[in-house]
Amino acid sequence: MTYQIGYLVGSLAKGSINRTLARALVASAPPDLEFTEVPIGNLPLYSWDYDADFPPEGRAFKRALEASDGLLFVSPEYNRSIPGALKNAIDWGSRPWGQNSFARRPTGIIGASPGGIGTAVMQSSMRGVLSFLDAPQLNSPEAYITYVADDFGPDGTVTNETTARFLRHYMDEYCAFVQRVLAANAPGHI
Ligand code: FNR
């Protein structure tokens, strides 16, 4: 069976290292997973004034989340937290009240930074947000990637064999997790 995975890149930068990481993750994933990017860069800044009538960008964003069997967040850490553009997108997806598009959808969180802790603090913030939104998260393995430019090609190739092996392992575990959550969500499952 094939599962549709929507991935969100938390950086709007053209040369984003997290976009490079996202390409590597797609290339490292088992064939059961099909990927579509869920773009976040065209969303206005969220306000609940929009709740009565979401604009087309907000509606398209929620449709893309809801068309996904699983979501994968590939994000930098900005000032020890979630980048504003990504938090804004999550706020859009969580509303209007009672129409939280993240609920019960399996998620993975991964990120790259040139620094040694590899987005660990951002990921910790994300876990609090996604828990509040009732989104199950892959807990293990954790994936804190210290980005070394020479390890990644522009097309998703990973030249460092240790990193390549870890990314394949991460995506295998993510795939198994998505399958488990979807099975648990299926009607009739207790
Ligand atoms: C950073 N950077 C950064 N790195 C980190 O490990 N922890 C942090 O808290 C921050 N804070 C931070 C804030 C802002 C506003 C910027 C622009 C950058 C450095 C960051 O990891 C680096 O710029 C990466 O290249 C960002 O990822 P993308 O945007 O290239 O995917």
Alpha-carbon distance of 103 to 66, in angstroms, equals 10
pLDDT given for residue 154 in this prediction = 82
What confidence score (pLDDT) does residue 166 get? 98
Ligand 1 in contact with 146 (CB < 6 A)? no
Phi, psi of 153, rounded to the nearest 5 degrees: -90, 165
DSSP run (H or E) holding 34: strand 33-37
Model's pTM, two decimal places? Answer: 0.98
Which pLDDT does position 190 carry in this prediction?
Answer: 65
Q: Domain boundaries in the chain?
A: 3-185
Element (H, E) at 120: helix 120-132
CA-closest residue to ligand 1 atom 1 = 78
Hey, whose CA ends up nearest to atom 3 of ligand 1?
78
Residues of the chain with pLDDT under 50: none
Residue whose CB lies within 8 A of the most ligand 1 atoms, among 78, 81, 144, 147, for a mutation test? 78
Strand order in the sheet with 70-74: 33-37, 3-9, 70-74, 107-113, 144-146
Tell me if the domain spanning 3-185 has CATH number 3.40.50.360: yes
pLDDT tens digits for range 135-181:
999 999 999 999 999 999 888 899 999 999 999 999 999 999 999 99
Q: Is 80 in the pocket of ligand 1 (CB under 6 A)?
A: yes
